[in-house]
A and B are shown apart, each in its own frame.
Chain A
Amino acid sequence: MSQNEDVIKVENLTKVFNKTLVAVDHINFNVKKGEIFGFLGPNGAGKTTTINMLITVLKPTSGKAEILCHDIAKQSDAVRYSIGVVPQEYTADEDLTGLENIMLCADMYGIPRYISKKRAADLLELVELTKFKDKKTQTYSGGMRRRLELASGLINRPKVLFLDEPTLGLDVQTRAATWNYIKTLKKEFGMTLFMTTHYLEEADSLCDRIAIIDHGKIVVVGTPEELKDSIGGDIITLSIQKNTDITDIIKKIPQVKEVKLDDKTYTIKTESAELTAPLIIEAIRKEGHIVSKLSLTKPTLNEVYLQYTGKSMRDQADESRERMGHGLMMRRPH
């Protein structure tokens, strides 16, 4: 297989639930061999539905997708043999030990014992769970369970690994550690990775390319740099002391490209934040208002995300934390 061949090809993939709810709406994208492809989007945007179709758990309503040239609907068994899946939930059986869980996975792939025993031991070593392999997984911490899921997802030496929100609900340190494992795994096995995530910093630093999905549609695909460039310039955020709308005042300044008011904070796009900011302050002061807060930023994925989905990633994080707090997660729509 040549370096640039597409490992995942998705054409007009669509999923409609109960004949009315369009969860995924004619999406198109390709994932190249060896890259980490990130799927970003708000809750309910269709990320998990897309992943469930690609891993052959859900049947598409229309459109098609190929993984390593195998059609996900018609050759689902061939797809299943060549992919690994790390689901959003902790799927390991709590009544079994770590080793028993990983061996169960091996058996579901039909891997002969003499191969899987060695492989399971290597993988447990890799995710540093060898010491705990004979302990029931109910005694594991969140980070350990996530690592076990990772190891289980690799037992069949997949060529493509699907990770559905692999760091959801983990604390900052464990998240960072999990990402280190994922990077090591990618390097070691030369896999192609497809992942969904809520965390922009991670998508930014890890993903080779990102697709932003909203309301079941892909709004933009590109490398993090391309996406940031597409914003077109720097961003000034400011707030004033009084609660009056001064959008029109700011708009009059020629260097200002765009102004958005969101929760008493003005987000202003301009070519160069350093040069435009003094002009804005001057204009506002002339109208008798006082600037209370001001910051200049070079574009990040957060701005990209806001631009394309109209939602800030901050609200997302709160939402997902709330969801995690509700114990069992029940979010797969059927």
Chain B
Amino acid sequence: MSQENKVSKSKLHGLWALTNRELKKWYKAPVVFVLTLVQPILWLGLLGNALNLRSLVSPDSLALPPSLVAEFTADQLALLQDFISGLGNSMMQGTFGTDSYISFMAVGMIVFTALFTTMFSGMSIVWDRRLGFLNKALSTPVSRAVIILSKVLSATLRAMFQATIILIIAIPFGFAVGAAFTPLSILGVYAFLFLLCVGLSSMFIAINIRSRSNETPMAVMNLLNMPLTFASSAFFPISRMPGWLQAIASVNPLSYAIDGCRQLLINDTINYSQLLFQYAYVGIFAVVLSSIGIILSWRYLNK
């Protein structure tokens, strides 16, 4: 055979080409790219500041009635205000593990963004089917698993990039790392995000793989999105939820990724056995869901 007919017979050939195809739709479209950066600013700026829970317990919000103030000396009053302030801090510490809600929420936000990014990328398989690209790809020697993996990989890379941006943007809003933070923690956060995104995007692709309409998967995903976000520790700690909600939130893989990231980023001490369990939980989620995704792709793309 002449050199002209040389082809790669690697099982993974085409993976990067197909992944890059998805990514180009994002980084080559300036409007989309800028919007993905603006969105976290809005979330952090609006929700993070509007829900300023720290201010609930502060000398301003707990002002004493004037009749009571008159009974204290100035020194006693200052002491009382310090006490209220301290009470506020310890309430925040006790509930959120940090005295800044912005820090708490920013970590929830990175995972929440991962959920959204993977959700939308799950739709792309429906479009590929509708526009005939999927059939074209299936007629080439590219492996069926690679078609699925490229979508998982592009969603994962994109979500990881966006998470980085959110954390950077959160700094001027008051995001502060905890005492246990080291540069290595960032790699740990990426590992969590990677595992979570692989699991989530495999799940959304599995939901969409047979569908030819946009509406049904959209409805299913919107339905899933709400409990996944709010029955998790994204915006409020699980330990302070009612019992039934705790039960749901404590099987939600998002909670484990979020809690793990919080340990790495904003907590003052790291519980390593807990951290290991969190990695294991999210890791198993990723392996199980991506296996399901690949099995389904073999089943439905090989009819």
Contact = CB atoms under 8 A, between A and B. Distances in A.
B135 A52 contact: yes
A180 to B, nearest CB: 24
A59 B302 contact: yes
Interface residues of A, number: 39
A109 B135 contact: no
A95 B130 contact: no
A294 B7 CA distance: 61
A59 B303 CA distance: 5
A329 B132 CA distance: 9
Given A80-B141, A110-B141, A330 B14 contact: no
B7 A109 contact: yes
Interface residues of B, number: 33
B135 A96 contact: no
A125 to B, nearest CB: 17
B139 interface: yes
B303 A58 contact: yes
Contacts of A227: none
B135 A91 contact: yes
A77 B24 contact: no
Given A95-B25, A328-B130, A110 B9 contact: yes
B131 interface: yes
B168 interface: no
B24 A95 contact: yes
Contact of B139 (A56, A110, A328): A56
Contacts of B17: 103-104, 107-108
B137 interface: yes
Contacts of A88: 132
Contacts of B136: 85, 87, 91, 105, 152
A157 interface: yes
B29 A108 contact: no
A91 B140 CA distance: 13
B209 to A, nearest CB: 12
A109 B13 CA distance: 8
A59 B301 CA distance: 10
Nearest to A85: B139
Contacts of B25: 93, 95
B215 interface: no
Interface of A: 52, 55-59, 77, 80-81, 83, 85, 87-91, 93, 95-96, 100, 103-105, 107-112, 115, 152, 156-157, 162, 328-330, 332, 334
